[in-house]
Amino acid sequence: MFVNPVHAPDIATAWLEALRAVYASPGRKALHTYVAIDNPTAEDPDLRFQADRIMAEFSMAPIETVANTIFPAALATLCTSHEELVTRYREIYPTLRDRWRQNRDGTYFGRLVAHPVGGESDGYDQLGAVISKLRTEYAHTQGGTKTAVYEAATIAIGDAEPSADIDGATAAAGIFVPARDKLPVGGFPCLSHCSFQLDRDGRVHLLAQYRSQYLVQRGYGNYLGLGRLLAHVCRYTGLLPGRLTVTAGYAQIEVSRPRKIAALIAQPNSLF
């Protein structure tokens, strides 16, 4: 049930290659999948069109809808600072949770900027803390900056504020809340960990770990949302986006009509 690592130049190609790898695995399921995307802000237009078409044919949520649970791109374009984005998102967050059943436990971005622990009434902005730490670290120690010390761990214990320093080096941001999240199969949250690595050349890389992932209905949107999240962090730190790496403890081709997926992955890809 293990497959070879996937390494791709853009989001769409990464999704296609991940589908190919898992589709060839027994039962169309795999453990410990690894997908590395060199440019997580780039897409192949033709493959994106086909991905959108497949989502519509299977009556699945559009790619943009999935991506927006991780990063609200349209709202971000209306904001001039991270703080403004946080304020505006918190204003609409209750509506997002009340109106759509799938959001009743929250969204990933909501957990990042309005985490339901700590002493703040609106929640805790963990992403802002990571941005601040990255910006400060690089500005003060260019050339000798710390590299692998910017964590977005998804475990928050009790009501403690989910930001902590380990040897003055780690900024943590939690998504999973043990007292509230029961982790049903396929339930929220599937994204369990994010880790930001700062290169000495001023480039930030993102490692995201999923406990479980539906590759067809969530894979593309997950990659897209994470790429946009990385770009947002880089925008407000003055750094450059690097590689996105996504691992999943368990990944599957979850559709009941796999022939449509077979037709997609059988086509030649000019990028390979």
Could you list the pLDDT tens digit for every one of the 272 residues in the chain?
899 999 999 999 999 999 999 999 999 999 999 999 999 999 999 999 999 999 999 999 999 999 999 999 999 999 999 999 999 999 999 999 888 877 888 899 998 898 876 555 678 888 998 999 888 887 766 655 555 555 544 444 344 444 433 333 333 455 555 545 555 555 667 898 888 888 888 899 999 999 899 999 999 999 999 999 999 999 999 999 999 999 999 999 999 888 889 988 887 664 43
- Residue 256's pLDDT is 85
pTM score of the predicted model: 0.85
Nearest C-alpha neighbor of 227 from the set 245, 214, 244: 244
Query: Would you give the end-to-end CA distance of the chain in angstroms?
Result: 24
Domain definitions of the chain by residue range: 38-44+61-252
User: If DSSP states are collapsed to H, E and C, what string results for the chain?
Assistant: CECCCEEECCHHHHHHHHHHHHHCCHHHEEEEEEEEECCCCCCCHHHHHHHHHHHHHCCCCCHHHHHHHHCCHHHHCCCCCHHHHHHHHHHHHHHHHHHCHHHCCCCHHHHHHCECCCCCCCCECHHHHHHHHHHHHHHHCCCCCCCCCEEEECECCCCCCCCCCCCCCCCCCCCECCCCCCCCCCCCCCEEEEEEEECCCCEEEEEEEECCEEHHHHHHHHHHHHHHHHHHHHHCCCCEEEEEEEEEEEEECCCCCCHHHHHHHHCCCCCC
